[in-house]
Structure 1
């Protein structure tokens, strides 16, 4: 570069505009296509991480019994069963073959049904002190994920979801978080009008907003109404102590109100099952996964829109 200050300033401006345009062009190429903009585009599942999977298999991991459900994105149940592992001693030489058999005989064939997008496995979070039973579950979960990642077809994913995410999803849908936050706000306002209390209330409101941002699905209204029912409300007030009872109650009501989403055989199987809580948990985990996936994509497009607005403002200054 050479010349006086004016010339140098113009040359630098042109240089940085060029760099900006190149970066902007590269960013647009890396961004996912607008999958939610139209029904025809939404069917594109070529990029599984940036779309809503046509169907998923949700797995609730246990030591002796494992529950799984194959469900479509419109919440239609394709397969919903319990699986019992066949081993007496919990050592890799015993439970390993049982896990492999389950994966090869039951899970992998589902890749050819309803454009399977991925497997969602319940993930046990790390604990500083964990019981031996929890360690067993973690071992089976790890084996499942490791083998699936090695054997799945291109375009199919393996993801994990911690139970807390599903619990938050249910609580937000049923309105318990919203109610507890509003109750706390009322109590705080009665106790004191100090700045400290007001700050605490604002923080709680933000948390409530964050956890209840699920307003674009059919089951938002359905579960909100369910949460107001006396039977469910009574269970809900007991907190985590009756989490399994709550799961079964939700699924029982869901099945009663959505008979077009499953077969009579599937309903009979659920009614006769001894481990209804496991079957309920894997189904609710699938609902939770789809909800979080839709929410994250919606937020991504909000960010894209904000970036495009920023680009337009910047370019208008040229």
Structure 2
């Protein structure tokens, strides 16, 4: 029974509104509910489990047993959160599980992209309206003084960050890494960012907030930001030109393979330069359209530099330098794509403002026509990221702020993170309807 009590510490943290015996019975029922959920999941194939976890924004892991256990824990916790929110809002038990599941999706989400120099957060309503969007410089340089870090984070949470309780809001925080690009060294910036992450959790938990950690790789996969021509997955296997009978020395084959690999990486980098230039052209054009839609004189189009290196020059740099160059190109393409996606949402929002306000936004019908024509050429992100008929809504002041912001990528990271999480929650509600347990209604007291 002690192990059972430990497994339900979060359940016992709620106010005690029933007698001790009833609580113990509730724990037994909760265990049965968890067993019911995992039993349903165990009947699924691994491919089906992967699809469910991907649609909910969960790390898939390896092995069916691990997937069933992890997904079962997540569904059980999500259903309990939905029931708790429903009961706190309506002061009654739901008549059906689906009635409560809809309340699992919070009215608001605050998405935070951590950085001690460039911390950004986006406050988003369930409707898709951006309520607040800021980039904040917490520190000018890395600082390890506990008192300084604690006071800076405390001031940020109390003075700038919108603080809401777990009933109506969820805080989505980018989970920090401990290594940079596989390097064994831990840089000062990574250490400070991890400290800030822990302090943010402490301050928000003290305020009674509901917090969710997000793996940034899942966000990149959701928006297709990491699907670039320089990824390792896109490289074809190199096949040596060797006849079945001839067997060249292993050393010669190794040298030839290394040379071919270097040429292949060099060609990838040259292609990535072309992709990056095209992406910069797109984001630059979007920026000019945003300026025009806001009634401002469009700034001069950003010059896009072509690659001056040919393949022979790239090959001479060697495999180690080429690997670093490819990683740099990959990060730049990812940033440009994120900015392009967010700017497409802003353009769509401004076009709808112009249509509804009869030209109240700078370009009127002309800008609506131009924007609609331009949206068709964007990435396959869609103008309705929150679902059919649900658009992002940017107030004019916020759109104007973004158009003047120099570090657009940080603002875009926190916004795409929050929007992706909201889109996952719609899938979670469907999963709860299909695989949730009816016994949860019994175990969650009023």
Is TM > 0.5 for Structure 1 vs Structure 2? Answer: yes
**Gapped runs of 5+ residues in structure 1?**
1-21, 45-50, 188-229, 309-318
Match of 1:69 in 2: 122
Post-superposition shift, 1:100?
0.6
**CA spacing shift, 1:87–1:97, aligned 2, 3 Å:** farther
**CA spacing shift, 1:82–1:184, aligned 2, 3 Å:** closer
SS in 2 for 1:258: helix
The answer as to whether partners of 1:68 and 1:81 remain within 8 angstroms in 2 is yes
Q: Tell me if 1:152 matches 2:207.
A: yes
Post-superposition shift, 1:148?
1.1
Distance 2:334 2:214 in 1: 17
Match of 2:146 in 1: 92
Q: Tell me if 1:294 matches 2:426.
A: yes
CA displacement, residues 48-81 of structure 1 (integer Å, 9 cap, x when unaligned):
xxx1111110011111221111001222100011
The answer as to whether partners of 2:279 and 2:336 remain within 8 angstroms in 1 is no
Once superposed, what is the RMSD of the aligned Cα atoms?
4.2
Distance 2:280 2:400 in 1: 27
The answer as to whether partners of 1:60 and 1:122 remain within 8 angstroms in 2 is yes
**CA spacing shift, 1:266–1:303, aligned 2, 3 Å:** same
Q: Tell me if 1:137 matches 2:189.
A: no
**CA spacing shift, 1:67–1:38, aligned 2, 3 Å:** same
Match of 2:93 in 1: none
Distance 2:163 2:169 in 1: 10
Q: Tell me if 1:272 matches 2:391.
A: no
Distance 2:212 2:280 in 1: 32
Distance 2:344 2:112 in 1: 21
The equivalent position to 2:131 in structure 1, one of 64, 78, 85, is: 78
Match of 2:347 in 1: 256
CA displacement, residues 23-51 of structure 1 (integer Å, 9 cap, x when unaligned):
7995389765799x89975663xxxxxx1
The answer as to whether partners of 2:122 and 2:132 remain within 8 angstroms in 1 is yes
Distance 2:167 2:418 in 1: 16
Match of 1:55 in 2: 108
Match of 1:204 in 2: none
Post-superposition shift, 1:136?
1.5
Q: Tell me if 1:122 matches 2:254.
A: no
**Gapped runs of 5+ residues in structure 2?**
1-27, 38-75, 87-95, 238-276, 283-325, 354-392, 440-446
**Structure with higher helix content:** 1
TM-score when normalising by structure 1 = 0.58
Distance 1:25 1:162 in 2: 29
The answer as to whether partners of 1:63 and 1:136 remain within 8 angstroms in 2 is yes
- Once the two structures are superposed, the pairs formed by residues 144-293 of structure 1 within 5 Å of their partners are 144-149=200-205, 151-153=206-208, 156-171=209-224, 176=227, 231=278, 239-259=330-350, 261-293=393-425
Distance 1:266 1:129 in 2: 39
Higher RCO (CA 8 Å, separation ≥ 6 residues): 2
Post-superposition shift, 1:291?
2.3
The answer as to whether partners of 2:97 and 2:433 remain within 8 angstroms in 1 is no
The answer as to whether partners of 2:120 and 2:410 remain within 8 angstroms in 1 is yes
Distance 2:30 2:97 in 1: 25
CA displacement, residues 118-176 of structure 1 (integer Å, 9 cap, x when unaligned):
11111113435422211121111111112211x223xx3011112101101111xx895
SS in 2 for 1:111: coil
The answer as to whether partners of 2:116 and 2:139 remain within 8 angstroms in 1 is no
**CA spacing shift, 1:175–1:141, aligned 2, 3 Å:** closer
